[in-house]
Amino acid sequence: MQELLKKSAMEQSKALKNKEVSAVELTSAALDRIKTVDEKLGAFNSLTEETALDTAKKVDEKIAKGEELPLLAGVPLALKDNMNLIGSRTTASSKILENFVSPYNATVTQKLLDNLVPIVGKANLDEFAMGSSNENSAFKKVHNPWDLNKVPGGSSGGSAASVAACEATLALGSDTGGSIRLPASFCGIVGMKPTYGKVSRYGLIAFASSLDQIGPFARTVEDAAALLEVISGYDSHDSTSLNLPVENYRLTLNNDLKGKKIGVVKELISEGLAPDVEKAVKNAVETYKKLGAEVIEVSLPNLKHSIGIYYILATAECSSNLARFDGVKYGYRTAEAKNLLEMYCKTRAEGFGSEVKRRIMLGTYALSSGYYDAYYKKAQQMRRVVTNDFINAFSQVDALISPTCPNTAFELGAKTEDPLAMYLTDIATISANLAGIPAISVPAGFDSDGMPIGLQIMTPQLCEAKLFNFAYKFEQEHDYYQKLADI
Ligand code: GLN
């Protein structure tokens, strides 16, 4: 049974349909594995055993009746703990929501339940999804399954680690500046951020609403594509949701790449790259050439501004989104306060961690009168400039490639004292959020310490089919994705 947990979602689906295993057995095996290894990993904030087994039972009933199964039915999945699942605690890894129980399902959660995907637990994250290493969780750190002394990446570190360690076969994460792709690359799995508006955020705890997107984690590109099919689609509950038909990305995974044009992002291969990461990108270029694609260098001249733009816009938006946590409507309230104002202040002082407070202060400053034009407005204008760089680049090529991160996973604690160094980890990922385009990280080799390296691929808005096609063709040329962390 533990062997089956290591297989892809598609293989697990097949085993269920062929009655080689029951859904209850598969889900129980995943829960057992979590109970054995998660003490070392810290990937889960809580388990949702009852929901998972209930769903698995429904799958088995359908199989017994000979009914057709929905896509991914019976395949164990971990839900990032900033998405609502009725009756489960949704904490965003924050003390302020430690005892908050979801009163309704997020749209993605409902879609998973409709497809009979067993949700095994709520995955750890950086508090309110703010971070790149998952060390900002108010509860516990997540450890990288490839080396327990290293970070898994953030902010969806628990989601990524759980899939890499075969505690779950699939996971959902949210990506505001790289929070799916970065941990996917650090943990040696596939992680994908869809086009802004593809997946409903109803029931996702908002961080920066003009950037947030929910997306899939999996160990193969095909599984990630299938999971996006399940969770995407129009939702009237999210005003940014795109009213477009749900696509079948799996049909075009294997399309020929002959004659396609790929651009290597010049600014992301020139400076500060770890030598092994540089080598992996060079190898990826060779792989694509072998597949018949033409590869050229393409410039995104304003990419260097993306971190600055992001840390104004994301903090401004979070200062507004997090205003609702005031001790009145949700979660934690301070034990002692003499009046209402003191209650607000103490609740927030006691409930938020230091990174969240830093961001609220930065964002409030950027939005305050007198500074609004100089910071917020300028950042909005520069966001357009970065987006135009992408439009220009995609007039020359079908897809862009780069490392997902200039380096592989670092030691726990290595950057916690230096927020700027931590922020710089996202140099390759943030611009896709600013431009609203889809982007994926796929396993692309290992460094000399055996730590995974991720290759990022980006395509124009709404070109997810193309994105999965480029990712799949690359994946199938190598056996990186078949290597699993030994934990
Ligand atoms: N690391 C980035 C940040 O700290 C991105 C986080 C995210 O995508 N949620 O804001």
The band of 420, judged by pLDDT with boundaries at 50, 70 and 90, is confident
Alpha helices in 18-82 (DSSP H): 23-41, 49-64
pLDDT at 271: 80
Q: Is residue 33 within 8 Å of 120, Cβ to Cβ? A: no
- Segment 457-482 mean pLDDT: 98
Q: What's the gap in Å between 187 CA and the centre of ligand 1?
A: 17
Residue carrying the six token digits 């900002």: 136
Q: Which atom of ligand 1 is nearest to the CA of 310?
A: 10
Ligand 1 site-directed mutation target among 132, 201, 404, most atoms within 8 Å of CB: 132
pLDDT reported for residue 163:
98
Residue 234 burial class via C-beta count within 10 angstroms: exposed 0-12, middle 13-18, buried 19 and up: middle
128 Cα: distance to centroid of ligand 1 (angstroms)? 9
Each residue's pLDDT tens digit, 12-65: 999 999 999 999 999 999 999 999 999 999 999 999 999 999 999 999 999 999
Rounded to the nearest whole angstrom, what is the distance from the C-alpha of residue 310 to the centroid of ligand 1?
9
Q: Check pLDDT > 90 for residue 227.
A: yes
Residue range 73-79: mean pLDDT, rounded: 98
Label residue 158 by pLDDT band (50, 70, 90): very high
pLDDT at 183 over 90: yes
Q: What is the pLDDT of residue 6?
A: 97
- pLDDT over 80 (residue 1): no
* pLDDT at residue 223 in the model: 98
* Predicted local distance difference test score (pLDDT) of residue 167: 98
Q: 427 in the Ramachandran plot: left (φ > 0), alpha (ψ -120 to 50) or beta?
A: alpha
Burial class (CB in 10 A: 0-12, 13-18, 19+), 336: exposed
Q: Compute the average pLDDT of residues 74-80.
A: 98
- List the catalytic residues: 80, 155, 179
Beta-sheet strand order (sheet of 190-193): 44-47, 119-123, 77-80, 170-175, 213-218, 190-193, 439-446, 452-458, 399-403, 261-265, 294-298
**Cα–Cα distance for residue pair 177/459, rounded to 1 Å:** 16
Tell me what percent of the residues of the chain surpass a pLDDT of 90: 97
| Cβ(220) – ligand 1 distance below 6 Å | no
Q: What integer pLDDT is reported at residue 242 of this predicted model?
A: 98
> Sorting pLDDT into bands at 50, 70 and 90, what band is 185?
very high
The b-or-e profile of 338-375 (16+ CB within 10 A means b, else e) is eeeeebbebbbeebbbebbeebbebbbbbbeeeeeeeb
Residues 161 and 41: beta-carbon distance below 8 Å: yes
Q: Strand, coil or helix: what is 235? A: coil
2 CA to middle of ligand 1, Å?
33
Confidence label for 369 from pLDDT (cuts 50, 70 and 90) = confident
Of 165-174, 194-203, 326-335, 378-387, where does mean pLDDT reach its minimum? 326-335
| Residue 157 CB–ligand 1 contact under 6 Å | no
Which of 210, 130, 225, 218 lies closest to 178 in space, CA to CA?
130
Q: Is 178 in the pocket of ligand 1 (CB under 6 A)?
A: yes
Task: Please provide the DSSP assignment of 341-353 as one string.
Answer: HHHHHHHHHHHS-
Average pLDDT, the chain: 97
Where do the domains of the chain lie, and which CATH numbers do they carry?
A: 2-256+441-482 (3.90.1300.10)
pLDDT score of 2 more than 90: no
Position 421 scores a pLDDT of: 87
Per-residue pLDDT tens over the stretch 92-129: 999 999 999 999 999 999 999 999 999 999 999 999 99
Task: Report the length, in residues, of the chain.
Answer: 487
Specify the pLDDT at position 263: 98
pLDDT band at 330 (very low <50, low <70, confident <90, very high): confident
Whether the CB-CB separation of 198 and 232 falls below 8 Å is answered with: yes
What's the number of CA atoms in the CB half-sphere (13 Å) around residue 273?
Answer: 23
**Ligand 1 and 60: CB distance under 6 A:** no
What would the mean pLDDT of 352-362 be, rounded to a whole number?
97
Residue whose entry in the numeric block shows the structure tokens 């609004």? 372
CA-to-CA separations, 30 to 25, 75, 163, 412, 481, in angstroms, rounded = 9, 10, 11, 27, 20
* DSSP tag of 263: E
Q: Where are the alpha helices (DSSP H) in 202-353?
A: 221-231, 275-290, 306-321, 340-351
| Mean pLDDT on 187-212 | 98
DSSP string for residues in 203-230: TBPPS-TTT-EEEEEESSHHHHHHHHHH
Q: Is the CB of 427 under 6 A from ligand 1?
A: no
| Helix, strand, or coil (residue 457) | strand
Determine if ligand 1 sits within 6 Å of the CB of residue 426.
yes
Instruction: List pLDDT tens digits, range 398-418.
Output: 999 999 999 999 999 999 999
Smallest CA-to-CA distance from 470 within 236, 255, 166, 219 is with 255
Q: What is the reported pLDDT for 8? A: 98
